[in-house]
């Protein structure tokens, strides 16, 4: 197992020869064992990135390494759940799991898959077509986790789930991460949905990476400041600034000590994300672009995970 | 056994909430030396928070010498936190007197809380 | 509902074929029923129906010009009608194959996303498609080959005995009574599959599958007379091709007239060359399917 789950460099995907770029210049590295939120507005390129990593699409340009090899080579070690949780409607729940066993010989963890399904109070004899949205998600997750993936790619996994099912299934995912050190990348356009469960963030806007890194590092690298309207924000990197009356409020990346008369606060993850999405011109912050690298506060080895 | 409740709206970092709740349990005697903290698996199953957050909190507690990780066994309480003034201590009595006086002076609950927080901030700046 | 045997925890290859058959079990049942019913009808035609009709014609012919002729007209009509129904059912097979392959086999999977579900299990998209082409091809061949043979027998049983029987070059008769039927069905299957991969939506792909199958059949109809050298006659007076042969062209003037034709002896050469053309076309369509799949999933799909 390598210590890098996903490494992309200048990755780009264009649909059709003349189509627009769904993803461009994407350079990111997701360390193994992390739970990564892939966040961005609808149509930002999140699904494209996940599908590329799952080996479902070929890249138009750039390089993509997944679990130390190509996405196609890593196919048996990747779990993927698409946004609409496709399943064969004519099969029963039990048959769907048996299919998972048959299609993933030598990898299948029948007990784990059945545990996820039975925790949802699902009748194994029910046809998939008769299931509710939350139940479908549960079966789709069981199918993906039964494969014992080292990397789990989830496209909008929690969309159209009620809060209870969302909490429960997120718990299932976190247990997976805690027990097996599974790297998880999940997309959402609602950052609050993922905030507590993820330790890594990848913010995509307009097909480009805007923020990437450990959430704690990203938060530590930014400061919300309030100062007099005539305050000079240079030499700090300004993500967003607004002047109201005599007051200037801004989201900045400090390049050094801040004047004592500025009032400062740590931004929330949501503020950080919204600030960057509202200001597409703001410079991106990714591990390569970070000049003053923040302390690696969130590095956690997954070995000591569970006792 | 302690059960963590994560309040997303509190504005307090999740791992800090775990640290605080563990300390609270130690102070109140719900956790005693030798007790086992819940495993990361148990915590994340119930709270759906990131396992690394739990581990970070446990490392913080370990750094403070309150718990110790025993490889393959779990994380165990090393020492209790007995420093919190019990209900009959003089500090408690003084605070109770002060609260009563504040009320007599016409302050409402929010005023008292604001005042208390401001003083706390001033005296414990930089502490966690 | 037959329960599938519990899978063994072995590390053998993924059982894609078993699950393909399970997913399309209703279609498999319907196909089996169609083949069996048509086969029974063709066996009846070849045996009792043809014998009764031949007897009717024998009675009719022995009447001469006797106005009060008594013969079994209903037996003659029964053979004729049911022969036409059987031909229609058999001729529908290539279209059914095209429609099913485009709609249910691939269009639906690509539309609903279950294709991606399969591609993220432990086998490659290329294997997924290979199984989805090879298994139905085997099933279609296993069904159409006996049908074509029985159809040929049902037709041959009337040849020379039943005057209302179809000529060997009749469109329905020729294309359903030999290996051409197998070739057409396989080409329909491949064309439907290509339609499914191109359109990626159930109903449009179903329609395109049928259209492509029709186009393939039309092409074969146009090409067929030229797939084997014709015989010809020319000379004075209005010549005709020998009885029982398929006139391909005729024309000219009374002074210089010509006619080209295929005698019945060309039946098998024409069947075999047309089948070869269809199989070549099937191979091209199959190649196109894999190229489209590679465009969909990227170069590395095979690994």
Which tops the pLDDT comparison, C253 or A204?
A204
d(CA C217, CA A83): 41
Q: What is the distance of C-alpha B64 from the center of its chain?
A: 13
Confidence of residue C6 (pLDDT cuts 50, 70, 90): very low
Q: Are residues C122 and A98, on separate chains, in Cβ contact within 8 Å?
A: no
The architecture (CATH level 2) of B8-77 comes to Orthogonal Bundle (1.10)
Phi, psi (degrees; rounded to nearest 5) at A35: -110, 110
Give φ, ψ of A238 to 5 degrees: -100, 120
Q: Can you give the pLDDT at residue A304?
A: 38
Q: Which helix (H) or strand (E) holds A139?
A: helix A133-146
How many angstroms separate the Cα of C228 from the Cα of each of A5, B74, C262, C268? Answer: 62, 84, 8, 10
Q: Is pLDDT at B100 greater than 80 in this prediction?
A: yes
- Given a contact cutoff of 8 angstroms between Cβ atoms, the answer to whether C109 and A86 are in contact is no
C252 vs A24, higher pLDDT: A24
> How do the domains of chain A map onto residue ranges?
4-215, 219-278
- Residue A151 contacts C where some CB pair is shorter than 8 Å: no
B128 pLDDT above the threshold of 60:
no
Which pLDDT belongs to residue B119?
87
* Whole-number pLDDT of residue A1: 52
The pLDDT of residue A160: 74
Question: Given B8, B51, B74, which is nearest A174 (Cβ)?
Answer: B51
Edge to edge, the sheet with strand A237-244 lists A237-244, A247-253, A223-228, A263-265
Would you tell me which residues 40-79 of chain A have a C-beta closer than 8 angstroms to some C-beta of chain C?
51, 54-59, 70-73, 75-76, 78-79
pTM of the entire predicted model: 0.84
- Residue A127 is given by DSSP the state B
**Interchain pair C23, A90: CB under 8 A:** yes
The 3-state secondary structure of B98-128, one letter per residue? HHHHHHHCCCCHHHHHHHHHHHHHHHCCCCC
CB contacts < 8 Å between A and C, how many?
Answer: 108
Residue pLDDT, tens place only, A224-282: 999 888 888 888 889 998 888 889 899 999 988 888 888 888 888 889 999 998 888 88
A80, A105, A132: which is closest to C116 by C-alpha?
Answer: A80
Q: Per-domain residue ranges for chain B?
A: 8-77, 90-123
CA pair distance B102, B112, nearest whole angstrom: 7
- State the pLDDT at residue C252: 79
| A307 to B50: CB separation less than 8 angstroms, yes or no | no
Highest mean pLDDT among A36-50, C158-172, C188-202: C188-202
pLDDT score of B84: 55
Chain A residues in contact with B12 (beta carbon < 8 A)? none
CB contact under 8 A, B56 and A300: yes
- For A157-214, write each residue's pLDDT tens digit: 988 788 888 888 899 899 989 989 899 999 987 787 788 899 999 999 877 889 999 9
B53 to chain A, closest Cα gap in Å: 8
- Is the CB of residue B6 less than 8 Å away from at least one CB of chain A? yes
From C25, C35, C18, C20, select the one nearest C1 (Cα to Cα): C25
Reply yes or no on whether the pLDDT at C177 is more than 50.
yes
Which of B51, B59, B75 has the most A C-beta neighbours within 10 Å, making it the best mutation to test the interface with A? B51
Work out the average pLDDT over C236-260: 82
Confidence of residue C120 (pLDDT cuts 50, 70, 90): very high
| Amino acid A174: pLDDT | 93
| Residue A89 · residue A162 · CB < 8 Å | no
Question: Which residues are paired to A63 by β-bridges?
Answer: A9
| Mean pLDDT, chain A, whole residue set | 86
Print burial letters for C16-54: b (CB count within 10 Å at least 16), e (below 16): bebbbebbbeebbeebeebbeebbebbebbbeebbbbbb
- Mean pLDDT on C38-66: 83
- In angstroms, the separation between the Cα of residue C106 and the nearest Cα of chain A is 13
Classify strands C231-235 and A247-253 as parallel, antiparallel or unpaired.
unpaired
Q: Work out the pLDDT band at C193, boundaries 50, 70, 90.
A: very high
Residue of A52, A84, A102 best to disrupt the C interface, most CBs of C under 10 A? A102
Question: Percentage of chain A with pLDDT > 90?
Answer: 45
Least confident of A89-103, C70-84, C104-118: C70-84
Average pLDDT over residues C97-115: 93
Residue pair A284/A208 in contact (Cβ under 8 Å)? The answer is yes
Does an H or E element contain A10, and which? strand A4-14
CATH code for the structural domain at A4-215: 3.40.50.300
Residues of A in contact with B48 (CB under 8 A): 167-168, 170-171, 173-174, 196-197
Cβ separation of A300 and B73 shorter than 8 Å? no
CA of A57 vs chain C CAs: smallest distance (Å): 4
Asked if A99 lies within 8 A of C19 by C-beta distance, the reply is yes
Q: Chain B: residue nearest A266 by CA?
A: B11
pLDDT digits (tens, 9 = 90+) for A277-301: 888 888 888 876 544 333 343 333 3
What percent of chain C is predicted at pLDDT more than 90? 57
**Which candidate from C10, C16, C114 shows the least CB-CB separation from A87?**
C114
């Amino acid at each position: 197992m390598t210590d890098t789950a996903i490494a992309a460099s200048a990755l780009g995907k264009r649909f059709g020869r003349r189509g627009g770029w769904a993803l461009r210049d994407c350079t990111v590295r997701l360390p193994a064992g992390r739970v990564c939120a892939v966040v961005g507005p609808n149509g930002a390129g999140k699904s494209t990135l996940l599908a590329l990593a799952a080996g479902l699409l070929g890249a138009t340009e750039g390089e993509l390494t997944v679990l130390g090899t190509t996405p196609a080579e890593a196919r048996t070690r990747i779990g993927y759940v698409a946004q609409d949780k496709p399943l064969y409607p004519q099969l029963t729940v039990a048959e769907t799991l048996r299919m998972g066993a048959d299609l993933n010989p030598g990898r299948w963890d029948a007990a784990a898959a059945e545990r996820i399904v039975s925790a949802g109070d699902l009748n194994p004899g029910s046809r998939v077509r008769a299931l509710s949205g939350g139940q479908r998600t549960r079966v789709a997750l069981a199918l993906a986790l039964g494969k014992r993936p080292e990397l789990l790619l989830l496209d909008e996994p929690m969309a159209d789930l009620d809060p209870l099912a969302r909490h429960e299934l997120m718990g299932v995912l976190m247990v997976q991460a805690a027990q097996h050190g599974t790297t998880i990348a999940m997309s959402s356009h609602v950052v609050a949905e993922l905030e507590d469960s993820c330790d890594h963030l990848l913010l995509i806007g307009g097909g480009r990476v805007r923020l990437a890194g450990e959430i704690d590092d990203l938060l530590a690298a930014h400061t919300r400041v309030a100062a007099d309207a005539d305050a000079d924000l240079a030499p700090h990197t300004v993500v967003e600034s607004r002047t109201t009356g005599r007051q200037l409020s801004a989201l900045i990346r400090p390049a050094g000590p801040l004047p004592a008369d500025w009032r400062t606060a740590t931004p929330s993850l949501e503020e950080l994300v919204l600030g960057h999405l509202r200001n597409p011109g703001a410079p991106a912050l990714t591990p390569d672009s970070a000049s003053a690298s923040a302390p690696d506060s969130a590095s956690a080895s997954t070995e000591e995970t569970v006792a | 056994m302690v059960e963590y409740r994560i309040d997303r709206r509190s504005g307090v970092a999740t791992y800090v909430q775990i640290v605080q709740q563990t300390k609270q349990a130690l102070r109140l005697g719900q956790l005693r030396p030798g007790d086992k903290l819940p495993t990361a698996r148990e915590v994340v199953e119930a709270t759906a928070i990131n396992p690394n957050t739990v581990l970070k909190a446990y490392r913080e507690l370990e750094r403070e010498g309150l718990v110790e990780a025993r490889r393959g066994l779990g994380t165990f309480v090393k020492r209790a936190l007995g420093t919190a003034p019990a209900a009959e201590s003089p500090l408690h009595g003084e605070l109770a007197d002060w609260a009563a006086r504040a009320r007599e002076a016409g302050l409402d609950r929010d005023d008292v809380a604001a005042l208390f927080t401001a003083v706390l901030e001033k005296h414990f700046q930089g502490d966690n | 509902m037959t329960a599938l045997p519990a899978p063994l925890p072995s590390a053998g290859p993924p059982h894609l074929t078993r699950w393909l058959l399970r997913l399309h079990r209703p279609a498999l049942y319907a196909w089996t029923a169609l083949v069996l019913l048509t086969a029974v009808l063709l066996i009846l035609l070849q045996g009792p129906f043809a014998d009764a009709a031949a007897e009717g014609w024998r009675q009719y012919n022995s009447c001469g010009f006797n106005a009060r002729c008594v013969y079994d007209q209903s037996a003659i009509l029964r053979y004729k009608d049911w022969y036409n129904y059987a031909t229609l059912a058999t001729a529908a097979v290539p279209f059914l194959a095209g429609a099913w392959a485009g709609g249910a086999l691939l269009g639906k999977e690509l539309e609903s996303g279950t294709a991606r579900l399969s591609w993220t299990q432990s086998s490659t998209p290329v294997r997924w498609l290979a199984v989805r082409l090879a298994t139905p091809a085997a099933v279609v061949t296993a069904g159409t080959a006996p049908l074509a043979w029985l159809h040929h027998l049902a037709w041959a049983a009337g040849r020379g005995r039943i005057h209302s029987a179809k000529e060997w070059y009749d469109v329905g008769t020729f294309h359903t009574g030999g290996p051409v039927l197998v070739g057409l069905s396989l080409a329909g299957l491949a064309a439907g599959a290509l339609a499914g991969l191109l359109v990626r939506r159930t109903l449009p792909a179903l329609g395109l599958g049928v259209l492509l199958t029709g186009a393939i059949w039309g092409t074969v109809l146009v090409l067929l007379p030229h797939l084997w050298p014709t015989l010809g006659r020319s000379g004075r007076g209005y010549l005709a091709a020998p009885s029982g042969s398929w006139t391909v062209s005729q024309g000219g003037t009374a002074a210089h007239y010509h006619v080209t034709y295929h005698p019945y002896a060309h039946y098998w050469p024409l069947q075999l060359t047309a089948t070869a053309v269809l199989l070549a076309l099937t191979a091209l369509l199959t190649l196109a399917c894999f190229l489209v799949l590679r465009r969909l999933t990227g170069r590395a799909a095979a690994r």
